[in-house]
Amino acid sequence: MQTIFALATARGKSGVAVLRISGPDAHAVAERLAGELPGPGRHALRRLRDRSGAVLDEALVLRFDAPHSFTGEDTVELQVHGSLAVIRALERAIAETGLARMAEPGEFTRRALLNGNLDLAQVEGLSDLIAAETELQRQQAQGLLTGRMREFADKCRADLLRAAALIEATIDFADEEVPVDVSPEVGTLIGRVLSAIEHELKGFAGAERLRHGFEVAIIGEPNVGKSTLLNRIAGREIAITSEIAGTTRDVIEVRVDLDGLPVTFLDTAGLRDSDDAVERIGIARARDRALAADLRVLLVDGDDGGAGFDPRVEIDLRYMAKADLTGQGVSGLTGQGVDRLLAEVSAALSERVSDLPVASHERHRQALVTSHAALMQALGAFGDDRAGAEIVALHLRDGARALDSLIGRMDVEAVLGEIFSQFCIGK
């Protein structure tokens, strides 16, 4: 492989920036700039110079020898001052050595995968960790990154291999009497894997929503206080408020960290019949977003508020509005009742992520569904006297292959491009 380099930290002014060099000539490239390198796994302060000998910066140089690096290759990291001019000068000096090229998006992580330092699910976990905004998202990403998917796949695979071995023993000794009836153990092994897969699939929707974030729609009649409530939740004026009904025409969003949950609150147009063409578009969008939201909060101004709403819009939480005037419910103006509202929203959403599986990507779900279908066929064939043991073994192998795809044990080239396109250049 060619030696590659890239800025591993965000581009822009900062106290420290990290340039990463990885590949067979990584040490040679670094020596051109820094002179003698520290020993393997060590670090040292060095002056970096270009090919003319001019000093570019003073850097902390870290050396990693293969396979003891993130990529599994010889690697050097240069911690330099985070000046745009310094970074540009160093990138130019590295390129001028002729020994390294600029890395492509996700190329460092791709090499870690190819060199066996990470499996495919860990790569996805790393991407999720970089994108994590809340504590629960961080925990979810760490589960993938630390190998929980591999543990799941390995455990299921071991059971299926044992079941397949028992089944194939009956094939190998078809002309002889097998001394032990393998049926009970085979049935138990397949059932155990099916239960594990079903647990993952059952909690998948909540896990996926946690990764992407939940949506909570604030709905109600015009001028009931939806925008004022959104501004209170956001802690700043992001929605226009006025006494004129129908002020909100489009869906306004604010994303918050709610007890570790990534939640986007939606301020929607007031639901009513209107002759205004633009307002009607806003009302249609409000209904569509409310239908698609994970939770709907209805604000009402009176006991009969909400009557006549679209019956498809299921109300999850209902509050009296303008508590600053009535003394009951919530008030975005004064903040009365808002903490209670947020706590109830948090509790309702937390129930959906109370027992999270490790599977959180659509690719995971598809592999699990494929494996489940194959194992159900195996179980059906196993209980059918007309089906041969070869058919059962075939379905077991199909189920195991689908589980292997979770961590990249089989050819998954088709999905690599999409996964690595999400990474930044220096990762």
Statement to judge: residues 287 and 367 lie in one domain = no
Looking at residue 251, its pLDDT comes to 73
Looking at residue 232, its pLDDT comes to 87
Statement to judge: residues 394 and 362 lie in one domain = yes
Statement to judge: residues 386 and 339 lie in one domain = no
Residue 303 resides in a domain: yes
Statement to judge: residues 340 and 364 lie in one domain = no
- Whether the Cβ atoms of residue 423 and residue 197 lie closer than 8 Å to each other: no
Statement to judge: residues 53 and 166 lie in one domain = no
89: domain range? Answer: 3-107
- Whether the Cβ atoms of residue 286 and residue 269 lie closer than 8 Å to each other: yes
Looking at residue 276, its pLDDT comes to 55
**What CATH number corresponds to the domain at position 260?**
3.40.50.300
Report the C-alpha gap between 418 and 114 in whole angstroms: 16
Statement to judge: residues 103 and 48 lie in one domain = yes
Number of domains, the chain: 3
Q: Where are the alpha helices (DSSP H) in 258-412?
A: 277-292, 323-326, 338-350, 362-382, 389-407
Looking at residue 281, its pLDDT comes to 64
Nearest to 43 by CA among 15, 72, 74, 76: 76
Statement to judge: residues 149 and 234 lie in one domain = no
Looking at residue 99, its pLDDT comes to 96
**What CATH number corresponds to the domain at position 148?**
1.20.120.430
Residue 419 resides in a domain: no
Statement to judge: residues 339 and 398 lie in one domain = no
Statement to judge: residues 395 and 325 lie in one domain = no
Report the C-alpha gap between 349 and 336 in whole angstroms: 22
Looking at residue 242, its pLDDT comes to 39
Looking at residue 67, its pLDDT comes to 94
Q: Which residues contact 402 (CB under 8 A, 6 or more apart)?
A: 367, 368, 370, 371, 374
What is the pairing mode between strands 3-7 and 100-102? parallel
Residue 415 resides in a domain: no
Residue 425 resides in a domain: no
Strand partners of residue 19: 7, 78
Q: Indicate the residue type of 250.
A: D
How are strands ordered across the β-sheet holding 295-300? 252-258, 261-267, 214-220, 295-300, 317-320
Statement to judge: residues 11 and 94 lie in one domain = yes
Nearest to 231 by CA among 305, 345, 330: 330
Looking at residue 189, its pLDDT comes to 92
Residue 335 resides in a domain: yes
Question: Which secondary-structure segment (H or E) carries 255?
Answer: strand 252-258
Q: pLDDT in tens for each of the 427 residues of the chain?
A: 799 999 999 888 899 999 999 999 999 999 999 999 999 989 999 999 999 999 999 999 999 999 999 999 999 999 999 999 999 999 999 999 999 999 999 999 999 999 999 999 999 999 999 999 999 999 999 999 999 999 999 999 999 988 888 887 766 554 445 445 667 888 899 999 999 999 999 999 999 999 999 999 888 877 788 888 888 888 877 654 434 344 444 678 889 899 999 999 988 765 544 555 555 666 667 677 878 889 999 888 865 555 445 556 678 898 898 888 877 888 888 889 999 999 999 999 998 888 889 999 999 999 999 999 999 998 888 776 666 778 888 899 899 999 999 988 755 454 566 556 666 766 7
Looking at residue 107, its pLDDT comes to 93
Q: Where are the alpha helices (DSSP H) in 146-258?
A: 148-172, 183-202, 204-212, 226-234
Q: Which residues contact 292 (CB under 8 A, 6 or more apart)?
A: 215
Looking at residue 247, its pLDDT comes to 42
Residue 228 resides in a domain: yes
Nearest to 106 by CA among 6, 228, 241, 194: 6
Looking at residue 291, its pLDDT comes to 83
List Cβ<8 Å contacts ≥24 apart for 140-145: 140/207, 140/210, 140/211, 140/356, 140/360, 143/358, 144/358, 144/360
Statement to judge: residues 251 and 336 lie in one domain = yes
**What CATH number corresponds to the domain at position 35?**
3.30.1360.120
Residue 57 resides in a domain: yes
Residue 426 resides in a domain: no
Report how far apart, in Å, the C-alpha atoms of 137 and of each of 67, 144, 348, 417 are: 30, 11, 17, 24
Statement to judge: residues 381 and 349 lie in one domain = no
Report how far apart, in Å, the C-alpha atoms of 411 and of each of 245, 408, 414 are: 58, 7, 8
- Whether the Cβ atoms of residue 350 and residue 259 lie closer than 8 Å to each other: yes
